[in-house]
Amino acid sequence: MTSKPILHYFNSRGRMESVRWLLAAAGVEFEEKYIKTLKDLKRLKNDGNLMFQQVPMVEIDGMKLVQTRAILNYIASKYNLYGKDMKERALIDMYTEGTYDLNDMIIRYPFLPPGEKNVSLAQITRKARKCYLPAFEGISGGSALKDHGQDYLVGNRLSRADVHVVELLYHMEELNDSIVGSFPRLQALRTRVSDLPTVKKFLQPGSQRKPFKDEKYVEELKSFFYETGQDRT
């Protein structure tokens, strides 16, 4: 019997949330071991489990994978969410890299000083509406939803690109619920992916999906990151 993947990270979204989304979409059950104290993190480091001395880290198939993109690449390949050939994979990579650009800004947003949050939100909104969402929708050219008239972004079947884009849409709407309103095909994609049984289960209350953290939790994480020197995202 194959053991479940084990995710080592904080009890928060951060850079592990996309891993949770992708495993959930693939219908893969996983366990989580939260880093709650400095001792927990030091143990992982001292045991030689962290190649670059930082998390996220995922135990899967006898390996201890680090670096978020490497982890996601492996999961997507293992569970057939990475296209049928090199051309489809290249398209999937382009969409995925676009989601990383915006997600990096969103991940950092809760940790910004109050005086910087309005500026950051305006920047996220502007980049989403003017650059990234039009590209996913197909307004700005390429092979996105508008151009090929299919149900999914690449190859007319679910890929990691769809999962990452839908995750991004949910996260953006938590910051500004009007951002996605002008993109009907993306709204339809979100509904389509959200209705998949594996994703629907993940979106239910009580799942391993992590909530948008409140100010108290953010302050606790800031203190931990300051103490450990770990990248707070």
Give the CATH number for residue 35: 3.40.30.10
**Average of pLDDT values for 171-199?**
92
The per-residue pLDDT for 1 is: 45
User: Residue 34 above 80 pLDDT?
Assistant: yes
In this prediction, residues 10-14 reach a mean pLDDT of 90
State whether 38 and 128 are in the same domain.
Answer: no
Q: Round the average pLDDT of the chain to a whole number and report it.
A: 88
Q: Look up the domain containing 69 and give its range.
A: 6-79+202-228
Whether residue 182 is contained in a domain is answered as yes
- pLDDT confidence tier of residue 151, bands split at 50, 70 and 90: confident
Same domain, 55 and 151: no
CB distance 213 to 110 below 8 Å:
yes
Tell me how crowded residue 178 is: count the other CB atoms within 10 A of its CB.
Answer: 10
**What single DSSP character describes residue 31?**
E
Give the chain's domain count.
2
Average pLDDT of span 67-71: 97
pLDDT at position 77 over 80 = yes
Residues 118 and 101 in one domain: yes
- Kindly indicate the confidence band of residue 95, based on its pLDDT and cuts at 50, 70 and 90: very high
Query: Is residue 1 in some structural domain?
Result: no
Do residues 155 and 207 both lie within one domain? no
SS3 190: helix
Q: Are residues 192 and 118 in the same domain?
A: yes
The reported pLDDT for the residue numbered 110 is: 86
- Contacts for 115 with CB less than 8 Å, ≥ 6 apart: none
CB-neighbour burial class of residue 137 (10 A; exposed 0-12, middle 13-18, buried 19+): buried
More confident residue, 161 or 217: 161
Q: Provide CB contacts within 8 A for 69, sequence distance 6+.
A: 100
Residue 32 has pLDDT above 60, yes or no: yes
167 and 96 in a common domain? yes
Which pair of structure tokens corresponds to residue 4?
A: 């479940």
In this structure, are 92 and 159 located in the same domain?
yes
Alpha-carbon gap, residue 71 to 56, rounded angstroms: 9
Checking if the pLDDT of 140 tops 50, the result is no
- Residue 126, strand partner residues: none
Q: Residue 209 carries which DSSP code? A: P
Domain match, 123 and 182 both: yes
Query: Is there a single domain that holds both residue 108 and residue 163?
Result: yes
pLDDT class for 176, splitting at 50, 70, 90? Answer: confident
- pLDDT of 232: 46
Structure tokens at 79: 């569970």
Using the predicted structure, report yes or no on whether residue 229 has a pLDDT greater than 60: no
What does the block give as tokens for 60? 């899967």
- 181 and 207 both lie in a single domain: no
Mean pLDDT to the nearest integer, 13-29: 96
Separation of alpha carbons 33 and 195, rounded Å: 29
The DSSP bridge partners found for residue 39 are none
* Whether 66 contacts 57, CB under 8 Å: yes
